[in-house]
Amino acid sequence: MSEIRLRFAPSPTGYLHVGGARTALFNWLYARKMGGKFILRMEDTDLQRSSKEYELAIMEALRWCGIDWDEGPDVGGEFGPYRQSERTALGIYKNYAQILIEKQRAYYTVYDKLDNKKPILTTYDYPKEYVENGHDVTISFKVLPGKTRFNDLLKGEIEFDNSTIEDFVMIKSDGFPTYNYAVVIDDHLMKISHVFRGEDHVSNTPKQLMIYEAFGWQPPQFMHIPLILGFDRTPLSKRHGATAVEHFRTIGILSRGLMNYLALLGWSVEEEIFNVKEKISSFDPYKISNKGVIFDPQKLEWVNGKHMRMMDTEELWNEFVEWIKYTQKRIPTCDKQYALKVIRICREKVNTLSQLYEMSYSFFFDDFEYQQEFVNEYLNSPYAERLLKAALLTFQQLENWSVEGTEKACRQLAELQIASKNKTFQLLRGAVTGKLVTPGLFETLSVLGKQKVIERLEKALSMAKATV
């Protein structure tokens, strides 16, 4: 059996879409399972829309997703991607186009100088005089009568009548190849054995197969995967909200959470929560569904939250710090053991790193703001000053700052009946964190410790007095 070789070939005309990330993931999983190669190729022949910025962003997003590639031009000891623009400069596509012209399966088209969309001549001979006189010239593929068939690994036998396909341009007037031509040359020369891609490429496949047939080359095996859809069952796009991998990274989705969720979109797996790298050996492309799948941001958050709670606390803290650096937020400077205690209790009520940052902010920084709801309902209440004074006295005398110790102290305060138990607990919660939704009150007090709790109760008391 020949080597299994798959590729991911994005156009660097935008950031990496989650649909592209899923396509890359499925190709990568199969290459890794089969002990084959996974190749990254930039299809950057659209000079007006392609940019180095998008190329670098796509590569960074793939690395963050945990998807690495196996070969390419050496760039400082790392593999860069193959680029069609560089391959164009080497004359690869023109050389193979010349072979098809000699076989009379391709031909030159000369265009009017005043109307570069109006053809005035087609010929198998190089139109040297026209080129020298400034005419635009393209090379087009000649479609022959008949039918083009292929067996899609997911959809089964697919057939096209060639009469529905017109001759198509292979080399544009600027010398760059078109997609359907370049992809064949590249996949053949790179010995790609399998092409897993979105089903929006089904209509491109007959043109590509005709080129394979014209050269006498064996085509790869194709699998066209249903697209990811929005809730309106149309292909997921910007009108459904943010769709780039960078967006989900920025809002604090873990790479393992995103990859887990994308794998679930179409691949039948027994369990819902898993690390995709641990699923390499069991990945089966034949278990990919042929039905469209809907992208549900809430389900993604739920999956991500599961991973946050399953992770080793120190590993989550490291990911959290990396995310803080990535988003250029304020980095906590504290004892690591304290940080781990904070992460351990705060992660129970959140599903993203951004939610974790918001939940944990008042544990790490003293300049938090009081929520207006807390101020209006509790801090400005007639019982606030008296209850905060009692709390200060209780916690100043407290020696046992375990969760059990802080719970006992809180319940003693409630028994004073200055306010109801719920109001007592909420006033304490807001006084030390500024929020009404936090980790468990007793755990919060225990982790904050005596000094911070007393300082914050004193601050809240001074504000309560100011409102009297």
**CA neighbours closer than 13 Å in the CB half-sphere of residue 396:** 10
Asked whether the beta carbons of 295 and 18 are under 8 A apart, the reply is: yes
Q: What is the DSSP letter of 238?
A: G
Phi, psi of 451, deg, nearest 5: -60, -50
SS3 336: helix
Residue with tokens 């008391």: 461
Give the gyration radius of the chain's Cα atoms. Answer: 31
In this predicted structure, what is the pLDDT of residue 402? 97
Residue with tokens 């399998």: 194
| H-run or E-run covering 302 | helix 297-310
Distance, CA of 337 to CA of 78 (rounded, Å): 36
Q: Which two tokens stand for residue 238?
A: 């910007």
Distance, CA of 371 to CA of 358 (rounded, Å): 12
238 is catalytic: yes
Cα–Cα distance list, 364 to 331, 347, 376 (Å): 9, 15, 25
Which one of the listed residues 191, 238, 277, 287 is annotated catalytic?
238
Asked whether the beta carbons of 231 and 240 are under 8 A apart, the reply is: yes
In this predicted structure, what is the pLDDT of residue 468? 52
392 burial class (0-12, 13-18, 19+ CB within 10 angstroms)? middle
**CA neighbours closer than 13 Å in the CB half-sphere of residue 409:** 26
**CA neighbours closer than 13 Å in the CB half-sphere of residue 129:** 2
Q: Report the C-alpha dihedral over residues 382, 385, 386, 392, rounded to 10 degrees.
A: 150
Which CATH number describes the domain made up of 372-466? 1.10.10.350
Residue with tokens 């400005």: 380
The amino acid sitting at 186 is: D
Q: Which two tokens stand for residue 446?
A: 């225990």
Could you please report the per-residue DSSP string of 90-110?
TTHHHHHHHHHHHTTSEEEEE
In this predicted structure, what is the pLDDT of residue 467? 65
Q: Report the C-alpha dihedral over residues 354, 358, 360, 365, rounded to 10 degrees.
A: 120
Residues listed for the chain = 468
The CATH class that applies to domain 5-70+227-294 reads: alpha beta
In this predicted structure, what is the pLDDT of residue 1? 56
C-alpha of 403 from chain center: 39
In this predicted structure, what is the pLDDT of residue 195? 98
User: Matching CATH topology for 311-364 and 372-466?
Assistant: no
Which residues make beta-bridge pairs with 40?
8
Distance, CA of 80 to CA of 93 (rounded, Å): 21
Superfamily of chain region 91-225: Glutamyl-tRNA Synthetase; Domain 3 (3.90.800.10)
Residue with tokens 């053991």: 337
Asked whether the beta carbons of 261 and 255 are under 8 A apart, the reply is: no
SS3 267: strand
Distance, CA of 359 to CA of 257 (rounded, Å): 20
Residue with tokens 């490429």: 201
Each domain of the chain, given as residue ranges in start order, spans 5-70+227-294, 91-225, 311-364, 372-466
Distance, CA of 343 to CA of 108 (rounded, Å): 66
SS3 46: coil
Q: Which two tokens stand for residue 344?
A: 């351990």
Residues 6+ positions from 381 with CB-CB distance below 8 Å: 419, 423, 427
Residues of the chain with pLDDT under 70: 1, 467-468
Q: What confidence tens digit (pLDDT) does each residue in 34-90 have?
A: 999 999 999 998 888 999 999 999 999 999 999 999 988 877 777 889 999 999 999
Asked whether the beta carbons of 225 and 154 are under 8 A apart, the reply is: yes
Pick the CATH number of 311-364 from 2.40.30.30, 1.10.760.10, 3.40.50.460, 1.10.8.70: 1.10.8.70
238 is in an annotated binding site: yes
